[in-house]
């Protein structure tokens, strides 16, 4: 389907092959190369569409952003066009960052202004929250470590985002890195041409007090980062997290049962959220400086290291691999509770650790050759981010409790004894699944005695624990 982006077109949907809209007669392709497919979103000053770059051999998807001001005066529209051209250059510079969408083009067509930007496949944090539930403290630390360098980068380029919120942060599908989106020109016009209209650009729930009054500073973006964090922790609207009677944030009162936040993180978030700019962090670099000492989850999080003995020295290595496997993607997927993708990635890294191509079904002999450092890293990541609920050590403990009876072992884990034709249908990718339910056994192969994998893996864990001590 091709989509007509002309405002007020009565029947915007057209056939793929159409070059002109059958309803209003306007040319469908923008700049004679960008074919709109469908609308994504719309707001007071713009509309966004998914599109295809028909001029590129690979025909990649891209995003069309239309600066659309239906009732703007001639004076405001003229100023908007002038600033549009100036700021498009700045947006192009920002797009050189790997975690900001690249600006592909900017132009005017049919008296409308357009930006064409890179399409980022993935989920927004809003979608992620809806799917996986409230974040825990470890996830917030990792979010800050990933997001703040982007904020620092745009501030160094003299750009204030003005609308940082979960819906404008995408977790990129291929590497799980955060990408900051929606650098619409309308936001860059707030303090100039559009200010006289009395319209404030941004989302009121996430806006700093000074931004509500029409002024934005570097600290205003940091305030929005803080509000984003407390919303992700509580899954409660920021409007409800603010105590208007006592004129302060009451976000701690809305934390999910049994979840707590360390004093260190609490103080950091409070400093991001101060109503007065002077009390707040002044730059992203200042916040990052307070994050620097964190090399592992802070004391407020609870993670039992099942590999570490109670006495003596333990071999502590971060994401260690004896054969050079990169476990950062698995760590990110697990830290944001993307259990199914993490399960799929576990198969990939296990194959890599065994020197096999991804998708290879591992036999018992392969499990016996699995490097101990790699087995330890994979297991610790699962244990850590599930709070001890998942992981190979959890499965080993249950296997030993039932004296190796495989049907009973499967029953306790919530597995069927035999693999179904569609492997994903056999598993529940949720934290409330039975203890040991994940990672799955999708990687298990072998024609005879394949069910011995549980016993072989348990023995391998014992062997590796002994070696690592």
Q: Is 366 a catalytic residue?
A: no
Distance, in Å, from the CA atom of 228 to the CA atom of 459, rounded to the nearest integer, reads 45
Strands (E), 43-126: 46-53, 61-67, 103-109, 112-118, 122-124
Contacts of 456 by beta carbon, 8 Å cutoff, 6+ apart: 364, 367, 368
**What's the chain's length in residues?**
469
Hey, how many other C-beta atoms are within 10 angstroms of the C-beta on 214? 14
Contacts of 297 by beta carbon, 8 Å cutoff, 6+ apart: 137, 138, 141, 303, 384
Task: Let me know if 322 is exposed, middle or buried by CB neighbors in 10 A (0-12, 13-18, 19+).
Answer: middle
Q: Alpha carbon of 111 to those of 39, 82, 190, 335: distances in Å?
A: 19, 13, 21, 46
Distance, in Å, from the CA atom of 408 to the CA atom of 405, rounded to the nearest integer, reads 6
Which of 53, 163, 366, 379 is flagged as catalytic? Answer: 163
Distance, in Å, from the CA atom of 272 to the CA atom of 268, rounded to the nearest integer, reads 6
Distance, in Å, from the CA atom of 30 to the CA atom of 64, rounded to the nearest integer, reads 9
Q: In what order do the strands lie in the sheet with 46-53?
A: 34-42, 46-53, 61-67, 112-118, 103-109
Gyration radius of the chain over CA positions: 26
Contacts of 25 by beta carbon, 8 Å cutoff, 6+ apart: none
Distance, in Å, from the CA atom of 464 to the CA atom of 376, rounded to the nearest integer, reads 8
Distance, in Å, from the CA atom of 94 to the CA atom of 18, rounded to the nearest integer, reads 35
Q: Dihedrals φ, ψ of 35, to 5°?
A: -100, 110
Distance, in Å, from the CA atom of 85 to the CA atom of 112, rounded to the nearest integer, reads 13
- Per residue, the 3-state secondary structure of 250-309, as one string, reads CHHHHCCCCCCCCHHHHHHHHHHCCCCHHHCCCCHHHHHHHHCCCCCCCCCCCCCCCCCC
Catalytic residue ranges: 163
């Amino acid at each position: 389907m091709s989509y007509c982006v002309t405002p007020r077109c009565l029947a915007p949907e057209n056939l793929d092959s159409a070059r002109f809209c059958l309803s209003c007669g306007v040319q469908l392709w923008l700049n004679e190369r960008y074919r709109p497919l469908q609308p994504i979103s719309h707001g007071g000053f713009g509309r966004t569409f998914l599109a295809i770059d028909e001029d590129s051999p690979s025909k990649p998807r891209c995003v069309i952003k239309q600066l659309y001001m239906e009732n703007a005066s001639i004076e405001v529209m003229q100023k908007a066009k002038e600033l549009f051209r100036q700021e498009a250059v700045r947006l192009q510079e920002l797009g050189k960052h790997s975690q900001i969408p690249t600006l592909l083009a900017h132009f005017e067509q049919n008296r409308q202004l357009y930006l064409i930007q890179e399409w980022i496949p993935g989920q927004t944090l809003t979608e992620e929250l809806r799917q996986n539930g409230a974040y825990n403290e470890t996830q917030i630390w990792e979010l800050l470590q990933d997001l703040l360098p982007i904020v620092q980068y745009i501030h160094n380029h003299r750009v204030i985002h003005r609308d940082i919120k979960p819906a404008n942060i995408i977790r990129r599908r291929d590497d799980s890195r955060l990408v900051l989106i929606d650098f619409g020109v309308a936001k860059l016009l707030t303090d100039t041409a559009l200010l006289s209209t009395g319209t404030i650009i941004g989302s009121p729930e996430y806006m700093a007090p000074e931004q509500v009054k029409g002024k934005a500073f570097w600290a205003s973006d940091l305030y929005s980062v803080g509000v984003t964090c407390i919303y992700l922790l509580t899954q409660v609207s920021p409007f409800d997290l603010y105590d208007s009677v006592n004129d302060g944030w009451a976000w701690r009162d809305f934390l999910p049962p049994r979840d707590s936040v360390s004093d260190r993180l609490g103080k950091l978030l409070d400093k991001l959220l101060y109503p007065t700019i002077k009390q707040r962090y002044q730059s992203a670099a200042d916040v990052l400086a307070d994050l620097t000492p964190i090399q592992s989850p802070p004391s407020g999080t609870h993670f039992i290291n099942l590999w570490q003995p109670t006495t003596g020295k333990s071999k502590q290595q971060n994401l260690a691999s004896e054969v050079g496997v990169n476990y950062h993607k698995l760590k990110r997927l697990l830290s944001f509770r993307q259990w199914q993708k993490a399960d799929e990635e576990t198969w990939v890294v296990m194959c890599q650790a065994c020197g096999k191509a991804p998708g290879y079904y591992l036999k018992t002999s392969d499990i016996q050759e699995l490097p101990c450092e790699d087995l330890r890293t994979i297991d610790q990541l699962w244990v850590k981010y599930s709070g001890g609920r998942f992981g190979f050590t959890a499965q080993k403990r249950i296997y030993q409790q039932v004296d190796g009876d495989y049907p009973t072992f499967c029953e306790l884990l919530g597995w069927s004894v035999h693999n179904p034709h569609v492997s994903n249908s056999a598993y529940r990718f949720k934290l409330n699944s039975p203890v040991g339910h994940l990672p799955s056994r999708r990687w298990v192969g072998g024609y005879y005695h394949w069910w011995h994998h549980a016993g072989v893996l348990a023995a391998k864990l014992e062997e590796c624990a002994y070696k690592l001590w």
